[in-house]
Amino acid sequence: MKLTLANFYVKEICFGAKTELKDGVLTVNKEEALAVVREDTHITEAELHIVKPGDMVRLVPVKEAIEPRYRVGGGPVFPGVTGELMQAGNGTTHALKDMSVLVVGKHYGGFQDGLIDMGGEGAKYTFYSQLKNLVLVANSDEEFEHHEQQKKNRALRWAGMRLAEYLGACTKDMQPDDTDVYELEPLTKRSKAVNDLPSVVMVLQPQSQMEELGYNDLNYGWDCNHMVPTFMHPNEVLDGAMISGSFMPCSSKWSTYDFQNFPMIRRLYEEHGKTLNFLGVIMSNLNVALEQKERAAIFVAQMAKSLGADSAVVAEEGYGNPDADFTACLVALEEAGIKTVGLSNECTGRDGASQPLVSMNEKEDAIVSCGNVSSLIELPAMPVVLGELESLSRDGLSGGWGNDEKLGPSVRPDGSIIMENNAMFCGDRVVGWSTKTMVEF
């Protein structure tokens, strides 16, 4: 499979009469774009805003981030989700770089939603403050979800994907600024020079704990809760086969943008044929019952061994209950003779007394920490809020609270906030990029 990502760099976003990209300026016809959003009659309110790095703007509750794209030759950007099923990861796809579509609730948030500050102290905590963003602030008539802590957010998430496809299509007849080409030789057809290098497989554990459909990550539109570990070409992940779900404490979450740009996959590609032999991706899952977790670990280890992997990198989306899947996978791989590194965040509790991973084993001797979800973040009031600030404390966002005996409410009367890192949108960057550094004590 050969994937060419044709890159169009966006220097500025503005509203205007015609949706087009010219000299790095993306002009958006707001009424046309909103008409695309409102194709779903469940959308009751919708508005578009433009934010850029350094703007003193706070966004909450943020539900999703998507990179605008266009599939050359036709077909949906997200096969099995926004259109018919087709193979992803082959051919040419246009991508609008240095920007994203952000989906924000006009009122109601939930456990899986988060916060982004585009400027000030809070901007350092999330990658998305570094992008130019077209922000969809919307509400839906899915009233049964309004006061539920767990929300599927289907209408808003799908509206974001349609909007991303609409924007990407403006590049249809254009030549890109540059291209990235991703191609791996079939496993049995690789040269001796490549096969003599240490072989590495990437194991991904996307969110799939919810047995009720509609909350989990999707693989070609298939709910990952119904999946067993599956070997995938990395190009499929980079080209729209994987869609973010709507259940996961927000700093741990992988947005659709994260899947589209997965830095660890790209880094393994960079080293392929030089320092390592990149075998591909084992797409695993996160389960609830212990037997399911053990079964998945057995599948992963067998698959990696059969592929001839010398080593593996395992990344989990989440923490707590998923730690048992994560650590079981690390142990199973190590027991199969495969040197394994894990990527995960930690959860120590606000008092620091909880163990960072709920399951530990002496074979788990190489884990990269991507941050502590329980770290407290205190931020001043922001002049502009897109969405509804009160949702942080009212709607059960994973890092916010109504009142704490010692800390008081997450949202103070003057608009300043105190919250756990948990609520920072995709803040722990387990996918491989991070604004954080390690400090030695």
Q: Which two tokens stand for residue 192?
A: 């001796």
For residue 349, the model assigns a pLDDT of 85
For residue 348, the model assigns a pLDDT of 87
Q: Is the pTM of this model over 0.75?
A: yes
For residue 369, the model assigns a pLDDT of 87
Which positions of the chain have pLDDT values less than 50?
none
Q: Which two tokens stand for residue 319?
A: 């923490």
Centre a 10 Å sphere on the Cβ of residue 147 and count the other Cβ atoms it contains.
12
Three-class secondary structure assignment of 36-55: HHCCCCCEEEEEEEEECCCC
Q: Which two tokens stand for residue 265?
A: 């996959």
For residue 124, the model assigns a pLDDT of 94
For residue 96, the model assigns a pLDDT of 98
Please name the residues in contact with 423: beta carbons below 8 A apart, sequence gap of 6 or more: 114, 115, 250, 251, 392, 397, 398, 399, 400
For residue 143, the model assigns a pLDDT of 82
- Dihedral sign of CA atoms 346, 352, 358, 364 in order: positive
Give Cα separations from 128 to 31, 58, 140, 147 (angstroms): 25, 12, 24, 27
DSSP H or E stretch at residue 32 = helix 30-37
Contact assessment for residue 312 and residue 284, using Cβ atoms and an 8 Å cutoff:
no
Please name the residues in contact with 324: beta carbons below 8 A apart, sequence gap of 6 or more: 290, 293, 358, 359
CA 73 to chain centre: 26
Identify residue 95 by its one-letter amino acid code: A
DSSP secondary structure string for all residues of 352-388 = S-S-SSSS--TT---EEEEEETT-EEEE---SEEEE-
